[in-house]
A and B are shown apart, each in its own frame.
Chain A
């Protein structure tokens, strides 16, 4: 019940959420010459490096490997970017927080939206690649909005946890950076999970980001429906992470203004 009330309150603030998110998005590119094109260039450069390494040295055999890789990079970047921005958003906005009241999770939501905007912008590169490679589209692509929603719930839950903890423990930032770095290697961004032995695989598939990346590849590049158990698992785990994050955040938020 309290949750529904809270959603209603957030709805009243939708304009603020959007203005904050959009402002932050513009702020990121304010002082760079290439402006928004950095967001296109960054994944492209990264893609080139990984592509060269993995096709020449590691000899990965994957159909449409550049697309496979690029989609992995975009989704992983979304996860990494939104959680680091989310982690920072309460501490970074302490001046507002101490002077004006509105629901504190607005900052976290708008940070995640900013990250989402950046990722959607990056996806333009991917769409161009799809056209160049003449990938046939199937109706399975309709799953994509669902994945987007699940992904957003997942990063929101993670960010809520991190943002709240970061107010009290400043080393959360460093711990999270290490986790993200490890995560990048154990998530199938650069390679298919099938390279692993079944024992390790059983653990790696528990990672919801890995599942999201694999399912997105299925529906976008390979024109097949996602495996239903994987989809069900990802929805459940994302909701659990969101509920935990929301609970931690609500428990700690009244102490934010004093602690900062």
Chain B
């Protein structure tokens, strides 16, 4: 079964030279129209992903990888074309979205877990596991602002992997943290992969793409260069 189908997807951003975000400037602006820079973030992207597949997206910085993930996550809407997503999407586009700095570790697990789609019972059951996994046993009542960046990251990650994703969107999250943390991440994703979760991984780290992805999409300046076996795509990318 195809769980994600992307057909002739196009995304255009209109970037105004001068941002008008007051009523006053919009009214005066009627007399001298604003110039827009039209930016084609994605052009005619066309691919589909099977259930349980791990799919890589590679390309240089600014090639449109994150835009593509955001479109699939339904955060952005396409300018034209169609995206069909047949299962629930769990986006790991950034860790710790919606953290409250003034709240304790326990309270944040509840908030962040809910945002990531856990039910309150699941959160109750898994709180201890999350805290142990993050190594924050001594800090359960500490306010988040008093934790180090690394601790916050571990907390976010441990909470996020408790979700039961059907489709997982990953945007370079693996690039952060030390080696030990990265290994934990890899183990978690391997587990998801073995459980048959569909994973989309956007990265410019070729080694992780090579290790995980069955098929890969290469985009360059918003254009689809190729989609196919990871090996072939990567050798193509290296020649570019």
Question: Chain A residues in contact with chain B, CB under 8 A?
Answer: 15-16, 19-20, 23, 26-27, 30-31, 93, 95-101, 168-172, 175, 254-255, 257-258
Q: CB distance A99 to B93 under 8 Å? A: yes
Q: CB distance A169 to B26 under 8 Å? A: yes
CA distance A172 to B119 in the complex (A): 36
Q: CB distance B77 to A254 under 8 Å? A: yes
| Stretch from B55-63, B106-114, B133-141 forming part of the interface with A | B106-114
B100 within 8 A of A: yes
Q: CB distance A168 to B114 under 8 Å? A: no
Q: CB distance A258 to B97 under 8 Å? A: no
For A254, the closest partner residue in chain B by CB is B77
Q: CB distance A99 to B75 under 8 Å? A: yes
Interchain residue pairs with CB less than 8 A apart (10): A16-B114, A23-B100, A23-B111, A26-B103, A31-B102, A96-B115, A98-B75, A99-B91, A100-B115, A170-B22
Known: A98-B75, A101-B73, A101-B74. A15 touches B114 (CB 8 A): yes
Q: CB distance A171 to B115 under 8 Å? A: no
Q: CB distance A258 to B115 under 8 Å? A: no
B21 within 8 A of A: yes
Q: CB distance B76 to A258 under 8 Å? A: yes
By a CB distance below 8 angstroms, the chain B residues around A168 are 21
> In chain B between 213 and 234, which residues have their CB closer than 8 angstroms to a CB of chain A?
none
By a CB distance below 8 angstroms, the chain B residues around A257 are 70, 75-76
B182 within 8 A of A: no
By a CB distance below 8 angstroms, the chain A residues around B22 are 169-171
Q: Contact residue range for chain B?
A: 20 to 34
Q: CB distance B21 to A169 under 8 Å? A: yes
> In chain B between 100 and 134, which residues have their CB closer than 8 angstroms to a CB of chain A?
100, 102-103, 107, 110-111, 114-116, 119-120
Known: A101-B74, A169-B26. 13 other contacts (CB 8 A): A19-B114, A20-B111, A27-B102, A30-B102, A95-B98, A98-B70, A98-B75, A100-B98, A100-B115, A101-B73, A171-B24, A175-B23, A255-B77
What is the minimal beta-carbon distance from A106 to any residue of chain B, in angstroms?
Answer: 10
CA distance A93 to B120 in the complex (A): 22
Q: CB distance A258 to B23 under 8 Å? A: no
For B26, the closest partner residue in chain A by CB is A169
- Cβ 8 A contact of A100, one of B24, B97, B100, B107: B97
- Cβ 8 A contact of A16, one of B24, B74, B76, B115: B115
Q: Say what secondary structure dominates the interface of chain B.
A: loop
By a CB distance below 8 angstroms, the chain B residues around A171 are 22-24
Known: A98-B75, A168-B21, A171-B22. A15 touches B120 (CB 8 A): yes
Known: A23-B107, A23-B111, A171-B22. A96 touches B73 (CB 8 A): no
B36 within 8 A of A: no
By a CB distance below 8 angstroms, the chain A residues around B21 are 168-170
Q: CB distance B97 to A101 under 8 Å? A: no
B13 within 8 A of A: yes
CA distance A168 to B21 in the complex (A): 5
By a CB distance below 8 angstroms, the chain A residues around B116 are 100
By a CB distance below 8 angstroms, the chain A residues around B94 are 99
CA distance A142 to B75 in the complex (A): 43
Known: A99-B97, A171-B24. A27 touches B75 (CB 8 A): no
By a CB distance below 8 angstroms, the chain B residues around A96 are 97-98, 115
CA distance A26 to B110 in the complex (A): 13
What is the minimal beta-carbon distance from B69 to any residue of chain A, in angstroms?
Answer: 10
CA distance A255 to B70 in the complex (A): 13
For A169, the closest partner residue in chain B by CB is B23
Interface pairs A-B: 10 shortest CB-CB? A101-B74, A171-B22, A19-B114, A254-B77, A30-B102, A99-B97, A99-B93, A96-B98, A169-B23, A170-B21
CA distance A16 to B116 in the complex (A): 10
What is the minimal beta-carbon distance from A158 to any residue of chain B, in angstroms?
Answer: 18
> In chain B between 1 and 53, which residues have their CB closer than 8 angstroms to a CB of chain A?
13, 21-24, 26
